[in-house]
Structure 1
Amino acid sequence: MALRGTNQEFGRPYNRRIVLETIRLEAPIARGDIARQVGLTVQTVSTIIRELELQGFVMGVREAPKGRGLPRTNLTLNPEGGFAIGLHVTPIGVSAALVNLAGKIVGTRHHPMARVSPEATFPVFQALIAEMQALRPKGRMLGIGVAMPGPSDVDSMSFVGPTTLEGWKGVPVRDRLAEAHVLPVFAGAELGAVALGERLYGVGREFRSFYYIYFGVGLGGAAVQDGTVQRGAHGNAGEIGHLPLVPGGDPCPCGNRGCLERYVSRDALDRRLKAVDPNATIETALTDHAGVVDAWIDEAAPVLRSAIATIENLYDPETIVIGGLASDALLERLLAATEPLMHSVAERSGRTTPRLTLSSDGQDAVLRGAAALAISGALSPRFGLLFAGEEERAERDPIMTGPSRKEVAA
């Protein structure tokens, strides 16, 4: 969808975000090109750019000389011009990261928890948020993004079993965090968050349409179509972990048998390790219990192979990206065992991209995605409409608060 601004004065908060979004997507880009793309006058764009430069959001980069005259100055986002805090809630604990505008992780922290109840988790949120803010005490904080495991509001799948958050039914996560913080809070499913992060910052930047398989405590996925994450009618699109792919297979807490995540997930491997050694961990499994890992891969790979063919036939992606809460070495072993892949619509002539791609983000994928929820949300033109026509509220707009260019440089 084309980004279009308005030359009406009341639309300045909206226009700031139109310009920023254009720079984020098209950088490096010149002022005149921005004006043509968004339908604003060059004067309006120049005024906005001056504001954004003073706020430390935007910086100019001169092109290399190509002949006579001064080379033009192109604009790009200043990576240190803004930050977002990403929170990721899982059945085994809570993680947090501070992420800059370029998607670089400044710092992370993981807080393991034996029982992730709302009563125990919200104080952990507060502590982690404070830790992340302390990493850049003078930095502009755009917002907080929270990624929650799904599916959402499905009694048989959302709150039952080891891959879900029991006791969280009806908990207004976003509202409770928003009450405690002046920063905007954005909450979403971990599958949508990880796909967004991959699209903005990972190998997904190379593709307009791809499918992300998230190897978490459970298993899920998300389709990205023409650069947009597909969320479904209720935000539950991509819950492939509950595809019943093994007839008469292992019982699943959802009530079905043979669900994909009972074989392919962190929980699936952990259950097999604990049956041999109660103290075993996935992080050391490749060295401490190589035989158990080999047996698990032999069992999981054929099921994953079927899931891959199903995904390809349903979504026709350019590639399938896989990542999550496991080491690259473990995921590489698992992907190698799926070869040869089954026949699907992905077997087209002239194909130049691999059918399977390992995520470049590793275990930080969801954290960057959670922060991306906040960055994309706070910078979105739609969010700017909240401030349109009320310039006296500019101090509440996160895009116009925080350090000046001098403070950023310092």
Structure 2
Amino acid sequence: MKTLTGNQQLVKQINKTLVLETILHEAPISRADISQKVGLNKGTVSSLVNELLEDQLIYESGPGQSSGGRRPVILLFNDKAGFSIGIDLGVNYILGVLTDLRGNIIVEVNKKLTVRSYEVVIEILQSVISDLINAAPQSHYGIVGIGIGVPGLVNNHGEVLVAPNLGWKNINLREEIENCFDIPVLIENEANAGAYGEKLYGAGKENDNILYISAGIGIGVGIILNGKLFYGMNGFSGEAGHMIVQVNGKDCTCGSSGCWELYASEKALLEEARKLKLTGITEETLSIELLLELANSGNEDIINLFHSIGMYLGVGINNIINIFNPEQVIIGNRLTMAKDWLEKSIEKFIKNHTMKYHQKDLIISFSKHAYYSAAIGVSAQMIDQFLNNAVSILDAQ
């Protein structure tokens, strides 16, 4: 029977979490090194480590190097104690990944979407999740969570308020998926998920003030300020794809006109390509992959089209740089495939139009994980949620 008071229990949970995080980020590490790093006495650390071993969140790997006395036992984080699922629910695809507890991709499933009705998409989404669950190796904790990145406004209850490019409104996606699989679910804006993935595992690891540009069928922006995702008052920050860059411009599905994503997205690229009436290319075969093949083979019309898309990406990036003065801008999602044809146009526009003070020390990068950023980012959010909850839940048992 536990005899700790509430305050004692809370202190223990905080210390146990601290020890676990130290092993997660510093392993391989010994008990003595943990004690030195976190400032807890060796007896307390040893007791907490023994509990984490029983919880199977860590394991011993054998003796390490001796500094004069007994050789210390080395501790490692058990990244195979459970697995997480991350889903990037795009407008024309569903990308699902199964990761271990360090975010390493174990299995991936990619489905092309040719329809956008909720009933059909949710059926495909459930199929992708089922495939990933069935592919997961045996583990102590099984699937710890399912994270889903969605191109739209998401509230704190997991409801998709509006996803203009999908034509969805007021969809309680979290409730539906949790009821189907009985596993904790997080619904996140896909640009926020991509920003988190790049900050944790990708091009943004070294910086704390980052703008992540998710350039796919639409455009979203994930904002990281002082190392943390910035959500705004109601969680709706980052809808820069609907920033107006052309007065009296093209009509947008959001209800406005002249929005950035109408000129700088994958959708804009494909629409402009249709106007070229390319020989032998049908609506079914037209894709960014095909356009890249044409550009790489020297088609000047397509090369110029990519340059135009890059220029318009630069227009929007310039605007948000001038607002946020970030350390780094990371461009992600499907348009990263066209990096070689976009990069110079983006950099040229920013060099010529962004305030010089903002350009000083600014890093402009393409995503390290290309179009995987959102999927691994939202998977990582579920891992964090699991690890943050695991200590308190296990201690209460």
TM-score bucket (shorter structure): 0.7 to 0.9
1:165 aligns with 2:173: no
Q: Which residue identity does 1:180 align to in structure 2?
A: C
Say if 1:106 and 1:253 are closer, same or farther in 2 by CA, change over 3 A: same
Where in structure 2 are the equivalents of 1:185-224 lying within 5 Å?
Answer: 185-224=185-224
SS of the aligned residue for 1:186 comes to strand
Tell me the TM-score normalised to structure 1 length: 0.80
Q: Which residue identity does 2:327 align to in structure 1?
A: E
User: Does structure 2 retain, via aligned residues, the 8 Å contact 1:11–1:389?
Assistant: no
User: Does structure 1 retain, via aligned residues, the 8 Å contact 2:204–2:328?
Assistant: no
Deviations for 1:141-163, whole angstroms, at most 9, x for unmatched residues? 2111111111347xxx9344xxx
Corresponding residue for 1:281? 287
1:68 aligns with 2:68: yes
Gaps of 5+ in 2: 1-5, 156-160
Say if 1:183 and 1:311 are closer, same or farther in 2 by CA, change over 3 A: same
Residue of 326, 333, 355 corresponding to 1:317: 326
Corresponding residue for 2:384? 376
Where in structure 2 are the equivalents of 1:23-62 lying within 5 Å?
Answer: 23-31=23-31, 34=34, 42-60=42-60
SS of the aligned residue for 1:80 comes to coil
User: Does structure 1 retain, via aligned residues, the 8 Å contact 2:150–2:187?
Assistant: yes
User: Does structure 2 retain, via aligned residues, the 8 Å contact 1:83–1:142?
Assistant: yes
Using the alignment, how far apart are the partners of 1:33 and 1:45 within structure 2?
10
Using the alignment, how far apart are the partners of 2:215 and 2:72 within structure 1?
46
Corresponding residue for 1:271? 271
User: Does structure 2 retain, via aligned residues, the 8 Å contact 1:82–1:101?
Assistant: yes
Alpha-carbon shift at residue 173 of structure 1 (Å): 1.0
1:146 aligns with 2:157: no
Say if 1:52 and 1:233 are closer, same or farther in 2 by CA, change over 3 A: same
Using the alignment, how far apart are the partners of 1:121 and 1:219 within structure 2?
20
Gaps of 5+ in 1: 1-5, 392-410
Using the alignment, how far apart are the partners of 1:117 and 1:347 within structure 2?
43
Using the alignment, how far apart are the partners of 1:318 and 1:44 within structure 2?
40
Using the alignment, how far apart are the partners of 2:125 and 2:48 within structure 1?
35
Give the strand-richer structure, 1 or 2.
2
Using the alignment, how far apart are the partners of 2:185 and 2:27 within structure 1?
27
Say if 1:73 and 1:199 are closer, same or farther in 2 by CA, change over 3 A: farther
Range with bigger deviation, 225-234 or 306-315: 306-315
Alpha-carbon shift at residue 105 of structure 1 (Å): 0.8
Aligned CA-pair RMSD = 2.9
Corresponding residue for 2:359? 347
Tell me the TM-score normalised to structure 2 length: 0.83
Deviations for 1:194-222, whole angstroms, at most 9, x for unmatched residues? 11111111121121221111112101111
Corresponding residue for 1:357? 365
Using the alignment, how far apart are the partners of 1:31 and 1:143 within structure 2?
30
1:367 aligns with 2:369: no
SS of the aligned residue for 1:204 comes to coil
Corresponding residue for 1:235? 235
Using the alignment, how far apart are the partners of 1:372 and 1:113 within structure 2?
25
User: Does structure 2 retain, via aligned residues, the 8 Å contact 1:250–1:257?
Assistant: yes
User: Does structure 2 retain, via aligned residues, the 8 Å contact 1:84–1:374?
Assistant: yes
SS of the aligned residue for 1:169 comes to strand
Corresponding residue for 2:113? 113
Q: Which residue identity does 1:377 align to in structure 2?
A: Q
User: Does structure 2 retain, via aligned residues, the 8 Å contact 1:61–1:76?
Assistant: yes
Alpha-carbon shift at residue 43 of structure 1 (Å): 3.5
Using the alignment, how far apart are the partners of 2:74 and 2:302 within structure 1?
51
Using the alignment, how far apart are the partners of 1:104 and 1:134 within structure 2?
18
User: Does structure 2 retain, via aligned residues, the 8 Å contact 1:12–1:388?
Assistant: no
User: Does structure 2 retain, via aligned residues, the 8 Å contact 1:283–1:326?
Assistant: no
Using the alignment, how far apart are the partners of 1:236 and 1:75 within structure 2?
41
SS of the aligned residue for 1:170 comes to strand
Deviations for 1:248-301, whole angstroms, at most 9, x for unmatched residues? 333322233321111111111121223334231111211136444323233223
Using the alignment, how far apart are the partners of 1:309 and 1:335 within structure 2?
14
Corresponding residue for 2:127? 127
Structure with more relative contact order (C-alpha pairs < 8 Å, separation 6 or more): 1
1:336 aligns with 2:340: no
Corresponding residue for 2:104? 104
Where in structure 2 are the equivalents of 1:289-308 lying within 5 Å?
Answer: 290-308=299-317
Provide the identity percentage.
Answer: 27
1:178 aligns with 2:186: no
Q: Which residue identity does 2:292 align to in structure 1?
A: L
Alpha-carbon shift at residue 74 of structure 1 (Å): 5.4
Using the alignment, how far apart are the partners of 1:334 and 1:59 within structure 2?
46
Using the alignment, how far apart are the partners of 2:91 and 2:63 within structure 1?
49
Using the alignment, how far apart are the partners of 2:84 and 2:63 within structure 1?
30
